[in-house]
Amino acid sequence: VFQELGTSECYFTNGTEKVRFVERYIYNRQTYAMFDSDVGHYVGFSPFGERTAEYWNSDPEGIEFKRGQVDRYCRHNYEVFGPFSVERR
């Protein structure tokens, strides 16, 4: 059995003052590539992941799109999910 998974996560520090977008690509429970908005590009963690990250990083429009996910995906949805996750006690 083989398993491929992609996850997207937003990390909020002090509301929306400091926001970090992380997207992970996982194959058989091992992360092979990752995009981190703090780093600003894809990083590979295996030989396959390094080749994949290099290919994805060679597309300037794709990288700009991923960098914009902080605003489009995280900050935009903060008001929707904030009461259920951040403000929960």
- The pLDDT of residue 86 is 58
- Write down the pLDDT at residue 77: 82
Pick from 68, 75, 65, 67: nearest CA to 13? 75
Taking 50 as the pLDDT cut, the residues of the chain under it are: none
Segment (H or E) for 45 = none
Sign of the four-CA dihedral 42, 34, 73, 55: positive
State the CATH class of domain 4-83: alpha beta
Segment 72-89, tens digit of pLDDT: 888 888 877 766 665 665
Domain definitions of the chain by residue range:
4-83
Task: Give the pLDDT of residue 85.
Answer: 64
